[in-house]
Structure 1
Amino acid sequence: METTSVGAPLSGLERGTLRELLVHGPRSRAEIARELGMSRASLTRVTRALVDQGLVTEGALELRGATGRPSEVLHVRPEGRRFLGVKLTSDRLFAVVTDLTARPLAEYEEALRSRSVEDAVAQIGGAYERLSREHPDISAAGIGLAGEVVSVSGRQIVLQSPFLGWREVPLADLVGERLGVPATAENDVRALTAAEHWFGVGAGYESMVLITVGTGIGVGMVVDDRVVVGAGGKAGNLEHLPIDPGGPRCQRGHRGCLASYLSNAAIVAALRTPGLDYASVLDLARGGDPAALQAFRDAGHALGVLAATLANTLDPEKIVVTGDGIAVTELARAEVDAAIATHRSPDEAPLALDIQPFEFAEWARAGAVLAIRDFLRF
C-alpha cells in the first residue's frame, strides 16, 4: 500500500505554484512564471521543492503555444496528499477521503449519536480512524456545517449552528486535537461554493453564485476568483430578503421574506394541515394537489426574486442552485423564470440557472476542499 509523507510547510511561492497547477491544470514552467511573476531561478527552486515533497511531477515535453519549442509540463501528483472531509447535518455525519485533487477515494456515513459537541467530535474521530485504515497518512481535515463560522484571534469558532444547537464552539481546535492533524471548519454553503469553484461546476469561472434551498436557504459567492466571506463572516445571509410585504411571517417574525416562502418548513406551513412533512407535501404536489402546487409556485417566485437580485448585484458568470429543496425548480420553473424576468432589465441576457442535485457526499468532499485550501493557506 502506497503511503504519503508530510514534509515541511510550504512557502508562499510553493503554495502559489501548487494552486496554479491544481486549479488550472498542467502548466509549463514558463506559463507558471508568467502567471505568478516569478523569476526563472525562483521557479526552479520552487519546482524542486514540490517534486521532493511528492506534490508535483514533471511530464513529457509538450508544445504549449502556436510557436516556439516544446516545454516540459508540470503536473500535480494526486496521491501526494490525502484529506478528510466531513459534512454534519442535524442527525447524520458524512465523511470522505480525497486525494490532492479532491477526487474521492472512500466514503462513509452514519447517524449522529447525539447533538452534543463531544459526541460529534468523537464520531469524526471514529470516521477518521475507519477511513485511514485503507487510506493512511491523511494530512488534514475539513468540516462543513450549517451555521455561522468565524475566525476569532486566529481560531475558527462556530458562533451558532441552530440545527445542532451549538453556540461558540471551537470545532476546528477540538477536531484537530482529536485527530492529531490540522483541522478547519466552515459554513457548509461557503465550503461547497469553494469546492465547486476550484474542482466542480464553477471551475474556470472568476465569479459565481451558489444558492442552496431546503431546510435552510444559503448563498455562497465568488467575486474576482475569491469566495466572499464578509467582514463578520456572514456574507450571503439573505434568508430575510423581502419578497411580499403582505406575505406570511417567518419564524423570526418577518412578514413576506424569502424564508417565509422558500424554506421546506415554509412550504409545509403553507398547507396549514397538521401532520404533514416536506416529503408528504412534495408527493401531494407531484400528484396535482392544488394547495401543494401553489406552495411550490410561491416558493419558485421567491427563488426567482433571489436569483435576479444576486444577478443584478454581482453580475456573476454562473448561478448554481442545489439543496434538498431543489424540487422547487422542477415543480415551479415557470414561476422562477417569470420572477427573474420581472426583476431583471429587459436588456439583460437571459439568466441561465445551473440546477445541481448534489448528494451529501459532495458536501463532505467540500470539507476536504476546505482542508486542501487551508493546506495552501488560500
Structure 2
Amino acid sequence: MASTSTAPTANPTSWPALNSGERGALRELLIHGPMPRAEIARRLGMSRTSLTRVTRELMEHGLVAEGTAEPNGAAGRPGELLHIRPRGRSFLGVNLTADRLYAAVTDLEARVLASHDEALDSETVEDVIAQVGRVRERLVEGRPDVAAAGIALAGDVATSTGRQVVVESPFLGWHRIALADLAEQRLGVPVATENDVRCLTAAEHWFGVGAGFESMALITVGVGIGFGLVVDGKVVTGGHGKAGRLDHLPIDRDGPLCEYGHRGCVTAFLPNAAIVGALRTPGLDYEAVVALARTGDPAAVRAFRDAAYALGILVSTLANTFDPEKIVITGEGVPVAELARPAMDSAIAATLHPTATPVTIDIQPFEFTEWARAAAVLAIRDCLQF
C-alpha cells in the first residue's frame, strides 16, 4: 500500500539553506536509497522527534517524499519509506579537456537529463567561462534552471583561504586560477571545481558501483592514468590539492622510457599513446591498435599484454597499501583490461601480499559523458557540504 506523498509548498530552482541534520538525512537517502524514518534516525544518532522536524523541512523544500510502506518485521503499523524526489533540483556538470567541453544536467540522483559536448573556442579562462555559460543556457532551455554547477578538469585543485583555486591544469595551461569564483559570477549559481578523477571517484562512491562501501579505489586508464581513493567513506584529498599519483610507479627497469625519462614505469606501458607507440608503426591510433589486437596481431597483442601487466601491478599496489573493499577500473582505455585480462591477473597474483584479501575488481564501461555527470555530482556534494 502506498502512502500519500506530501506536496512541497514551493519548488524553487535554487538550493535551500539546510542545517546539518537536514543535509545528513538527505545524504543517507541519496547514498543508501529509500528507508524508514527510524532507520535514518538510527544512522544519524537523532531522536525521532528531531528527525520528524528534519524530514518536514526537506519535504517542504521539495527534496524528499514519502513512498511505499513496507512491513517492519513487527506487529503494528508498517514503516513508511522516505525517498529522494529526483526532480526536486537539477545540477550542471562540466568537464574540460585540452580541447573539448563536455556538459550534462542531472537530477538530484545524478541521472542525466540532458548532455552536450563541443570543441573549446579557446583556452583562455574568460572564453571558457563564457562558453560554459552559453552551454548552460542551451541545456536548460525549456526546463527549470540548475541549482548549482560543478566543473571538473585534469590538474590540481586546492582550497586556499576559503577559495577553490586551480593550482595547475597542464592541458589548458592554467596556473593559480580561482575558477569557481569566476564561473559563479557568470552563471549566478554556486559553483565548485575539482580534479576530474576525484570527481569520478566521488560519483562512483555515491551513485555507482561503490555505493555503500566505506573504502574503494578507482583507476582511470586512457590518455593518462588517474587514481582516486575513498577511505572511511570520504574521497581522499592530498595536502596540496593533488589527486594522488601512481602513474610513474616502476614496473620494469629494462622497459621503455616515458616522456619524463623514467624507464619502465606505468606511464611507459599503460596509457593509450604508450600502447600505440609500442607498435612503432606510423599512422596508427588507439582504436586501430585495439582492432589489431582483436584480430590477434602479435605486436598489438604484446603491447596490450605489457600494458595489462602494468595495470595489474598498479592494482596490487593499491590493494597492498590501502586494502580497499573494491577497485574500479574505467576510462576510455579499459580495453586493456578486456583484451589481456590474464596478464593483469598474473601480475596481481605475483605481487599481492600473501595474506591480503583477494582483490574485488569492477571494470566499468566508459563514455565521456561520465566525466560531466561526475562534475554534476560534485555540485550535489558541495551543496551538501560533503
Structure 1 length-normalised TM: 0.94
Deviates more, 1:76-85 or 1:261-270: 261-270
CA deviation vs aligned residue, 1:53-85 (integer Å, no higher than 9, x gap): 111112343323455531232221111111011
- Structure 1 residues 329 and 103, CA, compared in 2 at 3 Å: closer, same or farther? same
Could you tell me which amino acid in structure 2 is paired with residue 267 of structure 1? Answer: I
- 1:310 is displaced (CA, Å) by 0.5
- 1:235 is displaced (CA, Å) by 4.2
- Structure 1 residues 7 and 300, CA, compared in 2 at 3 Å: closer, same or farther? closer
- 1:347 is displaced (CA, Å) by 5.0
- Structure 1 residues 71 and 262, CA, compared in 2 at 3 Å: closer, same or farther? same
Q: Is 1:286 equivalent to 2:281 in the alignment?
A: no
Give, in whole Å, the separation in 2 of the partners of 1:207 and 1:349: 14
Equivalent positions of 1:17-36 (< 5 A) are 17-36=25-44
- Structure 1 residues 292 and 4, CA, compared in 2 at 3 Å: closer, same or farther? same
- Runs of at least 5 residues in structure 2 that lack an aligned partner in the other structure: 1-9
Could you tell me which amino acid in structure 1 is paired with residue 371 of structure 2? Answer: W
* Counterpart position of 2:50: 42
CA contact under 8 A between 2:320 and 2:356: conserved in structure 1? no
- 1:289 is displaced (CA, Å) by 2.9
CA deviation vs aligned residue, 1:90-145 (integer Å, no higher than 9, x gap): 22211111111111111111111122222211111111111111222210001111
Task: State the SS of the aligned residue for 1:138.
Answer: coil
Could you tell me which amino acid in structure 2 is paired with residue 168 of structure 1? Answer: R
Q: Is 1:245 equivalent to 2:257 in the alignment?
A: no
* Counterpart position of 2:268: 260
- 1:292 is displaced (CA, Å) by 2.4
Could you tell me which amino acid in structure 2 is paired with residue 234 of structure 1? Answer: K
Could you tell me which amino acid in structure 1 is paired with residue 205 of structure 2? Answer: H
- 1:266 is displaced (CA, Å) by 1.6
Task: State the SS of the aligned residue for 2:80.
Answer: strand
* Counterpart position of 2:366: 358
Q: Is 1:203 equivalent to 2:211 in the alignment?
A: yes
Matching residue within 81, 91, 97 for 1:73: 81
CA contact under 8 A between 2:255 and 2:264: conserved in structure 1? yes
Give, in whole Å, the separation in 2 of the partners of 1:219 and 1:82: 28
Deviates more, 1:347-356 or 1:221-230: 347-356
- 1:41 is displaced (CA, Å) by 2.7
Q: Is 1:149 equivalent to 2:176 in the alignment?
A: no
- Structure 1 residues 306 and 78, CA, compared in 2 at 3 Å: closer, same or farther? same
* Counterpart position of 2:326: 318
Deviates more, 1:60-69 or 1:368-377: 60-69
Matching residue within 148, 155, 158 for 2:166: 158
Q: Is 1:185 equivalent to 2:193 in the alignment?
A: yes
- 1:267 is displaced (CA, Å) by 1.7
Task: State the SS of the aligned residue for 1:252.
Answer: coil
Task: State the SS of the aligned residue for 1:134.
Answer: coil
Q: Is 1:327 equivalent to 2:346 in the alignment?
A: no
Task: State the SS of the aligned residue for 1:367.
Answer: helix
Task: State the SS of the aligned residue for 2:103.
Answer: strand
* Counterpart position of 1:226: 234
CA deviation vs aligned residue, 1:302-327 (integer Å, no higher than 9, x gap): 00000011111111121111111111
* Counterpart position of 1:295: 303
CA deviation vs aligned residue, 1:282-307 (integer Å, no higher than 9, x gap): 33333333222222111111000000
Matching residue within 83, 87, 98 for 1:90: 98
How many pairs align? 377
- Runs of at least 5 residues in structure 1 that lack an aligned partner in the other structure: none
- 1:33 is displaced (CA, Å) by 1.2
CA contact under 8 A between 2:11 and 2:62: conserved in structure 1? no
Could you tell me which amino acid in structure 1 is paired with residue 36 of structure 2? Answer: S
Could you tell me which amino acid in structure 2 is paired with residue 96 of structure 1? Answer: A
Deviates more, 1:11-20 or 1:44-53: 44-53
CA contact under 8 A between 2:86 and 2:107: conserved in structure 1? yes
Task: State the SS of the aligned residue for 2:218.
Answer: strand
Matching residue within 269, 275, 282 for 2:277: 269
- Structure 1 residues 197 and 77, CA, compared in 2 at 3 Å: closer, same or farther? same
Equivalent positions of 1:128-139 (< 5 A) are 128-139=136-147
CA contact under 8 A between 1:4 and 1:79: conserved in structure 2? no
Give, in whole Å, the separation in 1 of the partners of 2:226 and 2:73: 42
CA contact under 8 A between 1:206 and 1:225: conserved in structure 2? yes
Q: Is 1:54 equivalent to 2:54 in the alignment?
A: no
Structure 2 length-normalised TM: 0.92
Give, in whole Å, the separation in 2 of the partners of 1:138 and 1:343: 47
- 1:272 is displaced (CA, Å) by 3.1
Q: Is 1:113 equivalent to 2:121 in the alignment?
A: yes
CA contact under 8 A between 2:13 and 2:90: conserved in structure 1? no
* Counterpart position of 1:212: 220
Could you tell me which amino acid in structure 2 is paired with residue 373 of structure 1? Answer: R
Give, in whole Å, the separation in 1 of the partners of 2:207 and 2:71: 25
Give, in whole Å, the separation in 2 of the partners of 1:66 and 1:92: 56
Give, in whole Å, the separation in 1 of the partners of 2:14 and 2:73: 35
- 1:274 is displaced (CA, Å) by 3.9
Could you tell me which amino acid in structure 1 is paired with residue 58 of structure 2? Answer: L
